[in-house]
């Protein structure tokens, strides 16, 4: 019998589908006893038939058996058949559902198809029509499961590729991190300050970010930007870096290049692109009088505004060129005095209110 051959086609375990001969499992959900019995009688030679008189029993079989096809009454006493159809399709999208009804209206059938039914049968059944509808539903199911398998394999390949890319990025990041550390230490060997300065600026920046509710992911990038904010000093002459007396105008102009030089150093590393704005703009001032671009207020990237405060604090408290490092109270007064001119007032407010300098 041709039908029998086409019916024995698919087997699946969990989500994995493998071709293997077996009888398809057909679930009949209909509250009319005679309908259930007659469907079982017709299908029993070609299918494993499970009978459910209502939605609850139907859902039970769906959760405990690997159902291929559901024959579902459109008008169940216990629930609306269309709603049940929709629920089944949401949970088991690859099960084909054939609606059965004694009162077919075009609108009801359209609705059933819209909610995912693959076909419909009108009571009383014609045996040949029933078998033909079942056969078509199984072909559709086989096709859908084939597509699902391909999609699953594609997803697996994508995940694997993403994993490889992440590993490669991690390796690249680690080796770049080592290179960056070596560069910072190189500057430090010339000015005896930049390495420890970068560490303190990073610490204070993270304290500020935490109090301002910055997300974990953003905090990671702030950490990276803060660590590298002065890396451009690598391109600044040692005499200028180490000069203890006031820089001449010309020397100061050269020193002001270090944010852009820093950007040039990290630009070849695409994964550090996100750190560029903070590095480039950490010497901007809130009133627009800073460098390199004279950005003003909120035009200055948020992470750069945090860095500007942390950078100035460390410079006041620890810079080797200062004769008298400032105490916490003096630094707080300086911050307040320059709030809104040099610094973002919200950030100054957080530093003072949360007494962050006492943790610094």
Contact footprint for Fe ion (CB under 5 A) = 230, 311
- Measured from the CB atom, the residue of 68 and 311 that comes closer to Fe ion is 311
Rounded to a whole number of angstroms, the minimum distance from the CB of residue 321 to Fe ion is 13
- Measured from the CB atom, the residue of 52 and 313 that comes closer to Fe ion is 313
Rounded to a whole number of angstroms, the minimum distance from the CB of residue 215 to Fe ion is 24
CB 293 within 8 A of CB 264: no
CB 296 within 8 A of CB 287: yes
CB 100 within 8 A of CB 123: yes
Rounded to a whole number of angstroms, the minimum distance from the CB of residue 329 to Fe ion is 22
Rounded to a whole number of angstroms, the minimum distance from the CB of residue 314 to Fe ion is 7
CB 110 within 8 A of CB 117: no
Q: Which residue has the tokens 């694997």?
A: 160
Query: How would DSSP label each residue in 196-209?
Result: HHHHHHHHHHHHHH
Burial 161-195 (b: 16+ CB within 10 A, else e): eeeeeeeeeeeeeeeeeeebeebbeebbebbebbb
- Measured from the CB atom, the residue of 141 and 200 that comes closer to Fe ion is 200
Query: How would DSSP label each residue in 90-145?
Result: HH-TTSEEEEEESS--HHHHHHHHHTT--EEEESSPPHHHHHHHHHHHHHHHHHHH
Rounded to a whole number of angstroms, the minimum distance from the CB of residue 203 to Fe ion is 13
Rounded to a whole number of angstroms, the minimum distance from the CB of residue 194 to Fe ion is 8
- Measured from the CB atom, the residue of 97 and 335 that comes closer to Fe ion is 335
- Measured from the CB atom, the residue of 141 and 233 that comes closer to Fe ion is 233
- Measured from the CB atom, the residue of 74 and 241 that comes closer to Fe ion is 241
Angle at CA 193, nearest 5°, toward 190 and 196?
A: 130
Please report how many Cα atoms fall inside a 13 Å half-sphere around the Cα of residue 162, on the Cβ side: 6
């Amino acid at each position: 019998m041709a039908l029998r051959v086409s019916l024995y086609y698919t087997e699946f375990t969990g989500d994995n589908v493998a071709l293997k001969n077996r009888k398809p499992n057909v679930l009949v959900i209909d509250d009319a006893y005679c309908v259930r019995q007659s469907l079982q009688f017709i299908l029993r030679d070609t299918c494993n038939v499970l009978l459910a008189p209502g939605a609850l029993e139907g859902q039970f079989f769906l959760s405990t058996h690997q159902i291929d096809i559901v024959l579902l009454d459109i008008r169940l006493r216990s629930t609306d058949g269309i709603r049940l159809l929709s629920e089944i399709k949401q949970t088991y999208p690859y099960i084909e559902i054939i609606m059965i009804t004694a009162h077919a209206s075009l609108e009801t059938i359209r609705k059933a198809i819209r909610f995912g039914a693959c076909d419909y049968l009108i009571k009383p059944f014609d045996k040949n029509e029933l078998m033909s509808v079942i056969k078509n539903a199984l072909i559709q199911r086989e096709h859908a499961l084939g597509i699902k398998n391909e999609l699953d394999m594609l997803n697996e390949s994508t995940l694997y590729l993403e994993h490889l890319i992440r590993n490669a990025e991690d390796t690249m990041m680690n080796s770049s991190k080592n290179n960056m550390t070596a560069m910072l230490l190189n500057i430090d060997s010339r000015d005896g300050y930049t390495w420890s300065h970068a560490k303190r600026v990073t610490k204070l920046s993270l304290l500020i970010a935490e109090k301002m509710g910055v997300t974990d992911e953003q905090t990671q990038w702030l950490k990276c930007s803060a660590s590298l904010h002065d890396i451009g000093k690598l391109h600044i002459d040692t005499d200028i870096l180490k000069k203890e007396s006031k820089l001449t105008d010309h020397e100061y102009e050269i020193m002001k290049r270090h944010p852009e030089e820093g950007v040039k150093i990290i630009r070849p590393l695409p994964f550090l692109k996100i750190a560029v704005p903070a590095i480039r703009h950490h010497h901007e001032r809130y009133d627009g009088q800073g460098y390199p671009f004279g950005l003003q207020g909120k035009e200055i990237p948020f992470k750069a505004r945090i860095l500007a405060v942390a950078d100035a604090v460390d410079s006041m408290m620890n810079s080797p060129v200062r004769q008298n490092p400032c105490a916490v109270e003096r630094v707080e007064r300086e911050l307040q005095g320059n709030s809104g001119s040099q610094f973002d007032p919200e950030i100054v407010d957080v530093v003072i209110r949360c007494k962050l300098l006492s943790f610094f």
